[in-house]
């Protein structure tokens, strides 16, 4: 069984617009009409859980939820067949707003709320539940930002607990949460570079910077470091070498990049969990991420198309 932990889940409100107008003089110039919109449960681990469930993979989604929006997150997950084990908190689960402008869908405008403040007793309650769930876990995916009130050391603590229980750990995060989580030597590290392209203080701007930072993380105990390098390309670093994964997709085909990175990670974990090779896992993950980006729906569910798209993914060992 796979556990996903999303400490700061959200409701994603996505708007597709023809042109995003900015006010200069009159209110009329400020009006931007959406040609369509979509509302769904979100957060990095939540997105991964939904994708895994569509693959038929048993998984449990954990984290903190609150208020009306918290009920929407739980409902959406259960409708997808995901088992939920969230801790309910005071306050309201956050809402994130995403604007996708025609022709520029691959650079979404994202406005993320901080989320509700979490109390110490709620963290303690979560840790008790988490410890019980670890008895059945083969993989644990720790994903996304930490809400207010949660110490930056949480991912390190959760990763250490999971490894002690015999589960493989994945961390997909940024900043302090990622930096401290690396101290637990997770099996897979996927830095979230949307806001700050660094890993443990090292920049991730160029290919050489990514490789150097990845090698250092591997030297410190991480098993696999996967970093997004270009819109259609990632770099994977392990103790055995460095691979560049490339999808021959045109940015003009992208309709919704939200959640694509979480689908990519879910695809990789799914394949490795089945015992497939790292290269096949990287191909499947990249194909799934690209198929999601080319779909209006946030999370691609056409497995046949993903497997067909795998044939177009190239992997080169550097």
Q: Tell me: the pLDDT tens digits for 38-79?
A: 999 999 999 999 999 999 999 999 999 999 999 999 999 999
Q: What integer pLDDT is reported at residue 26 of this predicted model?
A: 65
Low-confidence residues of the chain: pLDDT under 70: 23-29
**What's the CA gap between 299 and 261, in Å, rounded?**
10
- What is the secondary structure of 115-131 as a DSSP string? -----HHHHHHHHHHHH
In this structure, the number of other CB atoms found within 10 A of the CB of residue 22 comes to 7
**Sheet with 10-17, side-by-side order of all strands:** 34-42, 10-17, 94-101, 109-111
Q: For the whole model, what pTM was predicted?
A: 0.95
The tokens of 174 are what?
Answer: 């940024």
> Residue 149: left if φ>0, alpha if ψ -120 to 50, beta else—which one?
left
Q: What integer pLDDT is reported at residue 296 of this predicted model?
A: 84
Q: Can you list the domains of the chain with their CATH numbers?
A: 2-20+34-317 (3.40.1190.20)
Q: What angle do CA 94, 130, 90 make, to 5 degrees?
A: 35
**What's the CA gap between 68 and 169, in Å, rounded?**
31
Q: What integer pLDDT is reported at residue 85 of this predicted model?
A: 98
């Amino acid at each position: 069984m796979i556990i996903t932990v999303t400490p700061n889940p959200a409701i994603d409100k996505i708007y597709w617009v023809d042109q995003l107008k900015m006010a200069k003089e009159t209110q009329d110039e400020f009006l931007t009409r959406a040609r369509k919109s979509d509302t769904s449960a979100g957060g990095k681990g939540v997105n991964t859980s939904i994708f895994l469930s569509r693959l038929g993979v048993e998984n449990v989604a954990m984290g903190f939820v609150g208020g009306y929006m918290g009920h929407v997150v739980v409902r959406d997950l259960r409708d997808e067949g995901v088992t939920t084990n969230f801790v309910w908190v005071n306050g309201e689960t956050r809402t994130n707003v995403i604007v996708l402008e025609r022709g520029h869908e691959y650079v979404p405008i994202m406005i993320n709320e901080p989320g509700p403040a979490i109390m110490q007793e709620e963290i303690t309650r979560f840790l008790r539940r988490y410890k019980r769930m670890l008895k059945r876990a083969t993989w644990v995916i720790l994903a996304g930002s930490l809400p207010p009130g949660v110490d930056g050391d949480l991912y390190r603590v959760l990763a250490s607990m999971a490894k002690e229980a015999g589960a493989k750990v994945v961390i997909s995060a940024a900043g302090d949460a990622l930096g401290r989580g690396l101290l637990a030597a997770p099996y897979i590290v996927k830095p979230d570079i949307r806001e700050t392209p660094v890993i443990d203080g090292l920049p991730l701007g160029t290919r050489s910077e990514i490789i150097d930072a990845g090698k250092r993380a591997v030297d410190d105990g991480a098993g696999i470091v996967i970093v997004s390098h270009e819109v259609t390309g990632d770099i994977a670093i392990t103790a055995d070498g460095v691979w560049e994964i490339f999808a021959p997709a045109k940015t003009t085909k992208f309709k919704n990049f939200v959640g694509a990175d979480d689908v990519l990670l879910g695809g990789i974990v799914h394949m490795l969990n089945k015992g497939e090779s790292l290269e096949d896992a990287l191909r499947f993950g990249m194909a799934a991420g690209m198929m999601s980006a080319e779909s209006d729906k946030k999370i691609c569910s056409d497995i046949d198309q993903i497997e067909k798209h795998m044939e177009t993914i190239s992997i080169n060992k550097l």
